[in-house]
Structure 1
Amino acid sequence: MAMLGEITHVTTYRYARPVSFGTHRAMFLPRRGACARLLDWSAKTDPASKIHWVTDARSNVVTVMEFGEPSSALTFTFQVRGVFFGIKGIESFPLDARADQVPVQYSPDEWTDLAGYLRPHADDPDGNLAAWTKSFVSGDQDETTDVLRRILRTFRESFSYQSRETEGTQPPGETLLTRAGTCRDYAWLMIEVLRRLGFAARFVSGYLYDQALDGGAVGMTGSGATHAWVQVFLPGAGWLDYDPTNQINAGFDLIPVAVARHPGQAVPLAGSWFGDAKDYQGMSIKVAVHKIGDISDPSEA
């Protein structure tokens, strides 16, 4: 199945008086390939900037913006139109036998390519993260898909989603202790759990399509903003999406933009400004993902 959709992503920073700006870098273009075909896109800023595009070491597209004049407001407007593909469910991809049970058995070549996604990144000084990780397996032929669904269900039933103004991602140990956080916090904690279970897992930043928003309602947590989730590499299927915030792992609801070993490598928008700290008056973000129509033949777009 495929969806013809439009994404509009607007971020505005406000200041008490004109300030100057350093280089800003944005990640907003969906990753092209099996999951998306982009038809049109644009990046605009107010005040105007010099814009160029680069790719990072993980093949994420980065928009680089250089500013020349001060302003009391800074607005970024990113727009994308494209065809987004989805699958009916993980069962659509039969796994290799070596991926049926935990721990997954990766080949030597896979180990070499996936090394950065297999090693835990966060510290666990009190051992709470390791202990919680063990609760998802019995140690006796646990099926991979059952363990993954168990983790998703635990987030859905035992954690409280909490948005916050401060930027960044909190440590996995803090998310586990408080049983609360944002989609980025959930994803980072799930990744650290998966890596301790022997899975190759990576952080994904992107957009969430919420069908309910097309009708004026809100159906899924985290819609109306950038979103974050997890991809797990399973032999026979490849990289598969798992969203601990909404307990989904299929369809075209998840539109990936950037993949990374850790959240700091997939920041939707980052940059600097120069002025008095008290001049900063806050920011606003508005993200809209709308379906224009369904497409049975992507060549129709």
Structure 2
Amino acid sequence: MLLEVRHVTQYHYADPVRESVMEVWMQPKKTGRQRLVSFDLEVEPAAQLFSYADAFGNAVYHFDVPQPHETLRIVASAAVETEAAPALPDALDQGEWDRLRSDFVRGENFDFLAHGGFAVETDALRGFVAERGLDDLRRRDPLTAVRALSETIYDAFEYEAGVTHADSPIDLALGAGRGVCQDFAHVMIAICRSWGVPARYVSGYLFTDRQAGDRSDPDATHAWVEVFLPSLRWVGFDPTNNALAGERHIVAAVGRDYNDVPPSRGVYKGEADSQLAVGVSVRRARSALTEPEFIRMSQPSFARAGRRRPMSAPAHDQQQQQQQ
């Protein structure tokens, strides 16, 4: 499937700020089932772009806007060709649990077994596990257990934007019984790790299909989970939509949790209030488009965050966009 992504991030400041420094994780990864056809990153005001690969092999771009400005606009455009994931077996043998406990698997996946950041065991999480009888799933093979866990999270939570935010701990979603993809991914990762199953956070995009039952926001970035099973390697699960990650999922970056791979992160110098607007469009590529069609497809709708007053300090964190 050939897909086109346009991701627009815009910061507006009530008064001019003196400088902005940003990092972005927006370039889709090159994997065995995902081919990056093209990628372009535009920044306004204009800035020199630099890039590096982070510890998890993600492409990270960073830049500095050193002059006064009232608006910072970042536009990422990509074309990606994806393939469907190979069919999974109905189950694995019980020996997969022993393979997961091997020193080699645990050593190679140490970062994705340790609790930390948003993916932590809390009293609320332990209560959720007990209430839903999730530890009983460990009597099954790991693949069957993780499948059932993803389905349980889908059934247990309502999808609702605005209940949680980019920096919300999992206890907020657990208490409310609702949230967005970022929350569901962190809950699933924390439980998988408590079982000894390596799990990592995937940041990216989804070509939304309402007829397929997708409930995530089509105008936002998306997040899901990959678990490591020695017999299958990394397998993607999307608990927000009760689905396996497939050709409609575009991987931008992987990490231990959201903190490792936010779409954008930065600081600015100034005492102005800031406002963040984000727009995402994911469309199937078409061989020929008239100019009006192209313009219409390329203009994402915007999800606007609330105002934020920075603390009195030399540099202030930019607002981060929640993955929905």
205, 225, 228: which one pairs with 2:223?
Answer: 228
Q: 1:292 aligns with which of 282, 285, 308?
A: 285
Q: Equivalents in 2 of 1:91, 1:293: separation in Å?
A: 34
Map of 1:196 onto structure 2: 194
Aligned partner (choices 112, 124, 129) of residue 125 of structure 2? 129
Given the superposition, is the C-alpha separation of residues 125 and 144 from structure 1 closer, same or farther in structure 2, using an over 3 Å criterion? closer
Matches within 5 A, 1:18-37: 18-37=16-35
* More deviation, 217-226/69-78: 217-226
1:237 CA drift (Å): 0.8
Please state how far the C-alpha of 1:88 moved relative to its aligned partner.
5.4
Work out the percentage of aligned pairs sharing the same amino acid. 28
**Counterpart of 1:112 in 2: which secondary structure?**
helix
Equivalent of residue 267 in structure 1, options 256, 262, 271:
262
Native 8 Å contact 1:208 1:254 kept in 2: yes
- Whole-Å Cα distance in 2 between the matches of residues 48 and 192 of structure 1? 40
Q: Distance in 2 between matches of 1:75 and 1:166?
A: 25
Larger RCO of the pair (alpha carbons < 8 Å, separation 6+): 1
Q: CA RMSD in A?
A: 2.6
1:269–1:85 CA distance, 2 compared to 1 (3 A): same
Cα separation, 2, equivalents of 1:180 and 1:167: 12
User: In structure 2, what is the Cα distance between the partners aligned to 1:212 and 1:11?
Assistant: 25
2:175 is aligned with 1:177: yes
Partner of 1:153: helix, strand, or coil? helix
1:59-74 to structure 2, matched below 5 A, reads 59-74=57-72
Alignment of 1:71-90 (within 5 A): 71-87=69-85, 89-90=87-88
Return 5+ residue gaps in structure 2 as ranges.
288-324
1:239 to 225, 230, 234: 234
Deviation at 1:69, TM superposition (A): 2.1
In 2, Cα distance between the equivalents of 1:139 and 1:42?
Answer: 44
Q: Which has the higher strand share?
A: 1
TM-superposed deviation, 1:191 = 0.4
- Normalised to the residue count of structure 1, the TM-score between the two structures is 0.85
Report the 3-state secondary structure (helix = DSSP H, G, I; strand = E; otherwise coil) of the residue aligned with 1:152: helix
CA 104–221 in structure 1, closer or farther in 2 if over 3 Å, else same: farther
Distance verdict in 2 for CA 1:257–1:150, change over 3 Å:
same
Q: Which amino acid aligns with 2:129?
A: T
Rounded to whole Å, the distance in 1 between the matches of 2:167 and 2:248 is 22
1:98 to 95, 99, 102: 95
Q: Segments of 4+ in structure 1 off by > 4 A? A: 94-97, 122-125
**Distance verdict in 2 for CA 1:249–1:186, change over 3 Å:** same
Could you tell me which amino acid in structure 1 is paired with residue 82 of structure 2? F
Separation in 2 of the partners of 1:89 and 1:236? Answer: 13
Kept in 2, the 8 Å contact 1:29–1:257? The answer is yes
SS at the partner of 1:119? coil
Find the residue that maps to 1:49 and give its secondary structure. coil
Relative distance call for 1:47 and 1:268 in structure 2 (3 A) is same
1:258 aligned residue: 253
Alignment match, 2:40: 42
Distance in 2 (CA, whole Å) between partners of 1:232 and 1:84 is 20
Change in 2 beyond 3 A, CA 1:165/1:56: farther
Structure 1 unaligned spans of 5+: 295-301
Note the C-alpha offset of 1:242. Answer: 0.7
| Residue-by-residue CA offset, 1:152-195 (whole Å, 9 max, x unaligned) | 22222221222239752422233222212221111011100111
Kindly tell me the number of residue pairs found equivalent between the two proteins: 283
The reply on whether 1:145 has 2:143 as its aligned counterpart is: yes
Cα gap change, 1:71 to 1:113, in 2 (>3 Å):
same
Q: TM-score, normalised by structure 2?
A: 0.79
Return the alpha-carbon distance in structure 1 between the equivalents of residues 88 and 217 of structure 2: 22
| 2:274 counterpart of 1:276 | no
- Contact kept in structure 2, 1:106 and 1:235, CA below 8 Å: no
Aligned to 2:304: none
